[in-house]
Chains A and B, each alone.
Chain A
């Protein structure tokens, strides 16, 4: 085959490719429609997750929230929600939103780890589409969701345990708080206020569901005396300071404090 025989082929392919690209980019360009929530930009995706949590806080329908989250396919979605709650709280978003995220994270974290996130089955399966003709499950009261919205009714919380923890030398010293209801179950979304000489802060239980629904922690700094309280309760600890622990061979390190607030059984 002479080189001139190739010319029409090469010209045809070249023009064809150019025509294809021109069609794809100019005549009929890609239009971003019919996307799903996983394709959302990161900030919109976080807003979407927050909306799922807010809707869950409003309805208490955990199954529906799980179905909505299933599209994201993440196994550690509870931790993501917990981290998002902390981030939003620190960024000045409405407190209700942070509480909703914490409540949903806690509700998901309380489920046995072997359970799939989706009610339909394994990761990667087609997620449940929340708005379908499938009959909606009968809305029954769920302990997880009601606890996420409101503090457990009952007697006021009391400090039942205060202990210096000399276990983990590697981590920065922390104030670890557990808030338990009368039956000994962790209570998520409980606000804890901490005050020191030069400022104050607040944090919530349930933001680290892997450590328990009623768990919260706060990094302590040396040289400060802290007061810790549960708003709306008389439970309060004052003068909490870092204390040293014996690391052996003459060494020391700052220990963490554990405070347990519980409701007395009635």
Chain B
């Protein structure tokens, strides 16, 4: 029994290491068949920018909202605001910020006014 525990623990460590080696190196996870809402923040932001650029030409707010819906259940305005935040943090050009902001402004005009909270 005194020799059992060290061997078991060593075996356990080897088993864990083998599992991680298999999962991370030999057969790592491949991301396939994902949806746009799983995109990295950089690509999410660029997606929103593309929607904004298209909106700038089409001026079709409904279609812009439809395109933004692919990014998840959050309200469209939130997605655009998140994109603006990311763009600001990463020093995007003023042209891009203006493009994003134009869509945000138009979406904000659609949103109901924020209710004052009584505490």
A residues at B contact (CB < 8 Å): 5, 7-21, 24, 30, 32-37, 39-42, 44, 47-48, 51-52, 54-55, 57-59, 68, 96, 129-133, 135-136, 139
The chain B residue sitting closest to A14, CB to CB, is B15
When A and B form their complex, what is the total count of cross-chain residue pairs whose Cβ atoms lie within 8 Å? 162
Give the size category of B's interface with A.
Answer: 35 or more
The chain A residue sitting closest to B83, CB to CB, is A131
Contact A35 B14 (CB under 8 A): no
Nearest-neighbour CB distance to chain B for A11, whole angstroms, equals: 6
Residues of B14-38 whose CB lies within 8 A of A? 14-20, 23, 29-36, 38
Contact A19 B35 (CB under 8 A): no
Q: Is B111 an interface residue (CB 8 A)?
A: no
Nearest-neighbour CB distance to chain A for B88, whole angstroms, equals: 11
Residues of B42-80 whose CB lies within 8 A of A? 42-43, 45-47, 49-51, 53-58, 67, 70
Contact A19 B12 (CB under 8 A): yes
Question: If A35-B31, A135-B93 touch, does A24 touch B8 (CB 8 Å cutoff)?
Answer: no
Q: Could you list 6 examples of A-B contacts with CB < 8 Å?
A: A13-B11, A15-B12, A17-B15, A20-B23, A44-B36, A55-B54
Nearest-neighbour CB distance to chain B for A79, whole angstroms, equals: 22
Which 3 interchain pairs have the tightest Cβ spacing?
A: A12-B11, A16-B15, A20-B19
B residues at A contact (CB < 8 Å): 3-5, 7-20, 23, 29-36, 38-43, 45-47, 49-51, 53-58, 67, 70, 86-87, 90-93, 95-96
Contacts of A130 in B (CB 8 A): 46, 49
Q: Which of A5, A11, A131 contacts B96 (CB 8 A)?
A: A131
Contact A41 B29 (CB under 8 A): no
Contacts of A135 in B (CB 8 A): 93
A58 to B58, CA, bound (A): 8
Contact B54 A51 (CB under 8 A): yes
Contacts of B90 in A (CB 8 A): 131-133
Q: Which of B13, B29, B46 contacts A16 (CB 8 A)?
A: B13
Nearest-neighbour CB distance to chain B for A25, whole angstroms, equals: 10
Q: Which of B12, B51, B91 contacts A12 (CB 8 A)?
A: B12
Contacts of A34 in B (CB 8 A): 38-41
Contacts of A40 in B (CB 8 A): 33-36, 39
Question: If A52-B50, A131-B87 touch, does A35 touch B40 (CB 8 Å cutoff)?
Answer: yes
Contact A54 B38 (CB under 8 A): no
Contact A32 B16 (CB under 8 A): no
A47 to B47, CA, bound (A): 11
Contact B87 A39 (CB under 8 A): no
Nearest-neighbour CB distance to chain B for A183, whole angstroms, equals: 26
Contact A51 B50 (CB under 8 A): yes
Contacts of B95 in A (CB 8 A): 136, 139
Contacts of A48 in B (CB 8 A): 36, 47
